[in-house]
Structure 1
């Protein structure tokens, strides 16, 4: 006798606040939180604890994996597990653009200072630069051997009308699970410097608001700090930048973390005075970023105390 079995399929979900596959971001006012919710994005009013809006696309069934905010305050780029990217408008809660250029899940997104150029990284190891206004891909940067984990612009790219010929002052830094951090010249579209100091996967990076410091987080207990020579980035000639051996980024030292789990994310405060590091153990550590003058005074004070202690 043949037995008939019923076929059950998932129809919908409810009660989702945030899904763990992606990151959450705040709007410019700090009042709204934009969180991934499976294949959708939910906008929450933090003070009231209520849902303001839900962003979704009928043609999408992939899970949200990455979210970033544009400098203009209203556009948000959302990356998905199928490699697609959608741009949503916070003012009308609709999807304006759909970008397809990756073969793997989106793992990193970053706008330039003008908000007209978007850089995306994925598990396919590629970094793609997008013209947001023209809604087209500009070019692809290849060189990493594993998933891209972080992207940061060191200088703003040109506006969309000249984005195809980005100036020599345009540079980005990328990190990957291949333990490497790379500096790219956007004019030549080549890697001009590779940092090979890390001994484990690089999970996060952040650039200070003044553009002088780069911090990278790995699987170990130390944060790696680097100095960025902005003058070298501005003065190097674009036509032979890729042929030169650059040292625009130099190792400055390490900062010992209290936790021993891998780094999830690193970020600077907008003032540049504080830096926060979130670990996989769900502990957030806040560090004070001292100026060179403050460091000098603290060092002199410590040396003076040591001399007084030795005299006793």
Structure 2
């Protein structure tokens, strides 16, 4: 299929503008190897895009849903889409054929995740469900077993969902499926609560109470021990997953928490208050604030030292994650950005008009500390070698604390626990002052 792209030269960093979708793009995801981008739209279709070709090409449209697409995910050579028509569809990405329709929810599907063997979904019908991934292999008599579990104690619509596999993965149930007694599902709801569930029994294990508004987003630490919940009550809460104890309340935002992303020892948050923030997870300290947005910050992505944000003001921004300074702005037309993705040297933005834009970010990470390699200049214009050495030392300490992560969204390997320096707060404040001087 042709790409239908057009070139725009108003912005030197804008590579392509793709108009195949006829309505707002609600969701976007990348394949594990980064070769395929999938978008889901209000026009009731999902589309596949090549990312490794010189020009982005639309490889196919996934058509069949009777309601708008709310979420998309990729598993191996398959694509899963959730829709307002209360169904989940499984597609073969090589043929665009719909292989199976998962039916059972009675209202809009809000989220879909996949572990390979199983699919988990949440819905506005106040439930979450677990499904058998290889459903098309079943005969007609076995189709009733496609829905393996229904988790149904929430009082209002369920949105975010997380799967935490058991540390011991040797358990197999009577049907030969890899359901371990320690597998945990966590759901967040508009009823202000998060709940953890046993995948094995379907029973509720813990109720995470404390928020005063709907839970909009969630994240966990890489070890799957701590849960972070973002709410419309403007707060982020940190919970011990095993005990249900609230360990910390992270306050500072003045709007709904719309997005959370854990990267090593840090966590990034986006809010309707037009700000994004960086937190030291272990202590709940806000170490950076990313300013310059003029509307809700709807999405964010950390990549190679840059924090990319998408905003309702139709601008995507690239910030130096360490200093908080804006390095580049990617300005679209009037419609707000709903989703972003980063692959190789390209930033993809999807907006409420249904347009997918491709931006050049080559070299942006290399610009992070341009001009900081030389010595600091004192008040008299002389080189202050001591100040330069101090800045280098502080810069190195913060680099070490932040760590590196090639793909933080997919990392599930527990990192080392590095003791925090008792002087970290002073170091961070001094470094920020010197870097911004």
Question: TM-score by structure 2 length?
Answer: 0.54
Partner of 1:162: 176
Tell me what 2:249 maps to. Answer: 254
Could you tell me how far apart the structure 2 residues matched to 1:24 and 1:254 are? Answer: 30
Contact 1:171 1:183 in 2 (8 A): yes
Does the alignment pair 1:199 with 2:194?
A: no
1:80, distance to aligned residue in structure 2 (A): 0.7
The 1-side partners of 2:107 and 2:249 are apart by 32
1:128 corresponds to which residue? 129
The corresponding residue for 1:42 is 47
Once residues 117 and 177 of structure 1 are traced to their aligned partners in structure 2, the CA distance between those partners, rounded to angstroms, is: 25
What is the root-mean-square deviation of aligned Cα atoms in Å? 3.1
Q: For 1:211-226, what aligned pairs fall within 5 Å after superposition?
A: 211-226=224-239
Q: Secondary structure of the equivalent of 1:275?
A: strand
CA distance in 2, matches of 1:139, 1:64: 23
The answer on 1:26 being equivalent to 2:36 is no
Q: Name the structure 2 match of 1:3.
A: none
1:275 to 263, 267, 272: 267
**1:255 Cα deviation (Å)?**
2.5
Structure 2: distance between partners of 1:94 and 1:86: 10
Q: Which residue of 2 aligns with 1:52?
A: 58
Q: Is 1:101 matched with 2:104?
A: yes
Tell me, which stretches of 5 or more residues in structure 2 are unaligned?
Answer: 1-17, 137-145, 283-414, 427-437
- Residue 159 of structure 2 is matched in structure 1 by 149
Distance 1:167 1:253, change over 3 A: same
In structure 2, how many angstroms separate the alpha carbons of the residues matched to 1:253 and 1:292? 21
Aligned to 2:420: 297
- 1:18 to 1:46, Cα distance in 2 relative to 1, 3 A: farther
Measure how far apart 1:36 and its partner are: 1.1
| Per-residue deviation, residues 244-300 of structure 1 (Å, max 9, x unmatched) | xxx2x322212334x42212232334xx34433233456544445568954x53336
Query: What is the DSSP-based 3-state SS (H/G/I as helix, E as strand, rest coil) of the residue aligned with 2:155?
Result: coil
Find the residue that maps to 1:261 and give its secondary structure: coil
Give the direction of change, closer, same or farther, for the CA distance of 1:77–1:302 in structure 2 (3 Å limit): closer
Q: Higher mean Cα deviation, 153-162 or 136-145? A: 153-162
1:177 corresponding residue in structure 2? 190
Distance 2:29 2:165 in 1: 22
8 A Cα contact 2:172 2:180, kept in partner: no
Asked if the contact 2:211–2:233 (Cα under 8 Å) also holds between the matched residues in 1, the reply is no
Separation (CA, whole Å) in 2 of partners of 1:95 and 1:180: 35
SS in structure 2 at match of 1:162: coil
User: How much has 1:128 moved relative to structure 2?
Assistant: 1.1
Q: Of 65, 69, 73, which aligns to 2:74?
A: 69
Deviates most, 137-146 or 46-55: 46-55
1:84 alignment partner, one of 73, 84, 87: 87
Q: Report the Cα distance in structure 2 between the residues aligned to 1:54 and 1:173, rounded to whole angstroms.
A: 33
Distance 1:141 1:122 in 2: 11
Matched residues, number: 263
TM-score when scaled to structure 1?
0.73
Unaligned runs of at least 5 residues, structure 1:
1-13, 230-246, 304-312
State the secondary structure of the residue aligned to 2:135.
coil
Paired residue for 1:227? Answer: 240
